[in-house]
Amino acid sequence: MKLATLRTDGRRTGRNGTTAALALGGDRYLPLPAADAGALLVADGWRALVQNAVAADAAAPESAVVAVPQSGLAPLLPAAGKVICCGLNYGDHIQEMGRELPAYPTLFAKYADTLTGPADTIQVHGSERVDWEAELAVVVGAELFRADEDEAQRGIAGFTVANDVSMRDWQNRTLQWFQGKAFDATTPLGPVLLTADEAEGDFEVRGYVNGELVQHGNTATLVFGPARLLSYISQFTVLRPGDLVLTGTPGGVGMGMVPPRFLQDGDVITTEIDGIGRLENRIRINTKE
Amino acid sequence: MKLATLRTDGRRTGRNGTTAALALGGDRYLPLPAADAGALLVADGWRALVQNAVAADAAAPESAVVAVPQSGLAPLLPAAGKVICCGLNYGDHIQEMGRELPAYPTLFAKYADTLTGPADTIQVHGSERVDWEAELAVVVGAELFRADEDEAQRGIAGFTVANDVSMRDWQNRTLQWFQGKAFDATTPLGPVLLTADEAEGDFEVRGYVNGELVQHGNTATLVFGPARLLSYISQFTVLRPGDLVLTGTPGGVGMGMVPPRFLQDGDVITTEIDGIGRLENRIRINTKE
């Protein structure tokens, strides 16, 4: 099944004014009794809860199904407790750059405030080097601590789409990337969670700028796949339902182009994974800090 | 005034089973109607709330004041939304190492799960290079977004003591430090929050291993002081009451010694700031992953 988080109060961002929903295809959604998709995953027996909502809706005289445009979707996990990102994870890209495959995943952390909705305009202040990073994101579905890969695999709730939009000038001010990665409301996430039971193998990840394909990778070439990443992270910190792990981006980011190419005010980035969905976000840039 | 977070249910860690309290000196605390010191700071007019609790206690036939040993203290902010750390921030240490003063603060993020209480045993699995980092920590008291230094200064709730215990082997596996800094329950925090109105200028920060002084710095030599750090961070992400910013560590960490010195199973680290208090934590190390 596919799950989403709908906005219910017209606010652009925030942890309130949302509801979890079952995505029925097109713009149709059945609201579910949880504040967002992450809160739903915390509930024991959440699958039964979804099934009950579907049965109740079928039996009711008036359907609760709503039509919601993509702009009415919130970031899938607006209150994610952990948003942990992996860098340098696509083997083909690493090898084409002439580097060795890494022995350990490069990890950095950010916060749920960084997330934004799948059709939101991304407002950036104070950066002249705004770049894109199309990524598969893994949603945690169970508490994992010092989990092996099998347990981690079973603990995956599903998959979604993210773009780890990066302010390269801030990212490269110091050795630590955090400040260039954690601008509020700059990482679009969604549109839906594809549950793990319906995921069929690997994913094609594509990134576009103004309709031009700039990134294309397949998660089969990840050095550290979803279960291995979750297992590794869980060796030092607990993962909980609704936590998010971004798996890294394939080649084709603007910083790597010759000459480097950065997003301009008004550009639109599209992030797409077959079988899950697409994000489409306009970038607005105010270069003054 | 000084605020603390007491354990009320005997559990070693966790976000539940705690209460905020006013520290009265020695081991005496007056419980306050908030789950922890961070939750108290979120309440409008929290100073009046404290005063009312003091007045109510004075008027009641039996005092609610409790005697609690330091082991009964939880990490001061067990549910901090953001725990943002600054590295390379003591000017005298940077200059003695022959480096240039940085133009920007080196920042990285971790999560509240990393925190532990001021007298807790710190259990480390899978590291052979456990190191200490005594630090002044700043507690945010207001919502700050794109705040200038004056606003950030007014938005400081107060100060506390932290030790950013670091697993150097994990920290140096990749370019990003996060994985060596975010082991659950390894960053002691507390014992109290000294409110900003009672802070008198700069702080002496000291770190000891088994009673031997190994670190000693004065926050007057911070390249980026508390208000400047909060202002800088707030340019890209909102800070909220109860968020935590660690200001970096002075010289004298084990990794910098010749030869390097790391903590051994059973060692005790003490972290002390005059006017706030001290943390005393035994280290237990299981080197197997």
The predicted-structure confidence for B184-204, as pLDDT tens digits, reads as follows: 999 999 999 999 999 989 999
Least CB–CB distance from A106: residue in B146, B176, B183: B176
Of A145, A173, A236, the CB nearest to B104: A173
- Position B14 scores a pLDDT of 46
| Together in a domain, A166 and A101 | yes
pLDDT at B11: 54
Q: Which residues of B touch A81 (CB under 8 A)?
A: 111
Structure tokens, B221: 């030599």
Q: Both A44 and A83 in a single domain?
A: no
In B, minimum Cα distance to A289 occurs at: B235
Which domain range does residue B18 map to? 2-71
Tell whether B61 and B98 lie within a shared domain. no
Give mean pLDDT, residues A26-42. 97
Lowest mean pLDDT among A84-93, A117-126, B35-44, B134-143: A84-93
Q: What is the pLDDT of residue B92?
A: 74
> What is residue A126's predicted lDDT score, i.e. its pLDDT?
96
Domain stop point among B22, B54, B71 = B71
Q: pLDDT digit string (tens) for A157-210?
A: 999 999 999 999 999 999 999 999 999 999 999 999 999 999 989 999 999 999
Are both A81 and A67 inside the same structural domain?
no
**Domain limit, last residue, from B71, B88, B122:** B71
Distance CA B285, CA B289 (A): 11
Chain B residues inside the 8 Å CB shell of A148: none
Q: What is the pLDDT at residue A14?
A: 46
Q: Is the pLDDT of residue B16 over 70?
A: no
**Interface test with chain B among A237, A239, A245, A287, by most B beta carbons within 10 Å:** A237
pLDDT digits (tens, 9 = 90+) for A10-22: 654 445 699 999 9
The rounded mean pLDDT for chain A is 95
Q: Are residues B174 and B125 in the same domain?
A: yes
Over chain B, what is the mean pLDDT? Answer: 95
pLDDT tops 50 at residue B13: no
> Domain end: A49, A71, A93, which one?
A71
pLDDT attached to residue A99:
81
In this prediction, residue A289 carries a pLDDT of 64
Name the interface residues of B facing A (CB cutoff 8 Å): 81-82, 84, 87-88, 102-111, 113-114, 125-126, 145-146, 167, 170, 173-179, 182-184, 233, 235-238, 289
Q: Counting beta carbons within 10 angstroms of the beta carbon of residue B63, is it exposed (0 to 12), middle (13 to 18) or buried (19 or more)?
A: exposed
B145 chain-A contacts, CB cut-off 8 A: 184
A59 lies in the same domain as A114: no
Kindly state whether residues A15 and A155 are assigned to the same domain: no
Cβ-based neighbours of B26, under 8 Å, separated by 6 or more: none
Q: Are A184 and B114 an interchain contact pair (Cβ–Cβ within 8 Å)? A: no
Chain A residues at the B interface, defined by Cβ less than 8 Å, are: 81-82, 84, 87-88, 102-111, 113-114, 125-126, 145-146, 167, 170, 173-179, 182-184, 233, 235-238, 289
* Number of domains into which chain B is organized: 2
Q: Residue B107 and residue A146: Cβ atoms within 8 Å?
A: no
Which among A87, A109, A182 has the least Cβ separation from residue B182? A109
Q: Please return the burial class of B24, using the count of CB atoms within 10 Å of its CB with bins 0-12, 13-18 and 19+.
A: middle
**Separation in Å, CA of B28 to nearest CA in chain A:** 33
A108 contacts in chain B (CB < 8 Å): 108-109, 176, 178
The partner residue sitting opposite B184, judged by closest CB among A102, A104, A237, is A237
Q: What percent of chain A has pLDDT over 70?
A: 97
**What is residue B6's predicted lDDT score, i.e. its pLDDT?**
97
Residues of B in contact with A184 (CB under 8 A): 145, 236-238
Query: Both A163 and A39 in a single domain?
Result: no
CATH number assigned to the domain comprising residue A193: 3.90.850.10
Q: How far is CA A229 from each of CA A70, A92, A235, rounded to the nearest angstrom?
A: 30, 18, 10
Nearest-Cα distance to chain A for B178, in Å, is 5
Q: Of all residues in chain B, what percent carry a pLDDT higher than 70?
A: 97
> How far are the Cα atoms of A74, A159, B16, B81 from residue B114, in angstroms, in the given order?
29, 26, 16, 12
Q: What is the CB-side half-sphere exposure of residue B231 using CA atoms within 13 A?
A: 15
Does the pLDDT value for residue B97 go beyond 50?
yes
Q: What is the pLDDT of residue A91?
A: 84
Nearest CB neighbour to A109, from listed B103, B111, B146: B111
Contact flag B182-A236 (C-beta cutoff 8 Å): yes
Across the interface, whether the CB atoms of A237 and B111 are under 8 A apart is answered yes
Instruction: Find, in chain B, the residue whose alpha carbon is nearest to that of A110.
Output: B109
Residues A253 and A195 in one domain: yes
**pLDDT of the residue at B51:** 97
Say yes or no: B48 and B186 in one domain: no
Report the gap between the CA of B191 and the closest CA in chain A (Å).
23
The answer to whether residues B178 and B110 touch, using CB atoms and an 8 Å cutoff, is yes
Taking alpha carbons only, the member of B221, B228, B80 closest to residue B150 is B228
Per-residue pLDDT band at B288 (split at 50, 70, 90): confident
Q: How far is CA B234 from the centre of its chain?
A: 19
* pLDDT tens digits along B207-253: 999 999 999 999 999 999 999 999 999 999 999 999 999 999 999 99
On the question of pLDDT at A100 being above 90, the answer is: no
Q: Are residues B15 and B90 in the same domain?
A: no
The pLDDT assigned to A16 comes to 66
When pLDDT is averaged across residues A268-284 and rounded to a whole number, the result is 98
Which amino acid makes up residue A129?
A: R
Are residues B39 and B118 located together in one domain of the fold? no
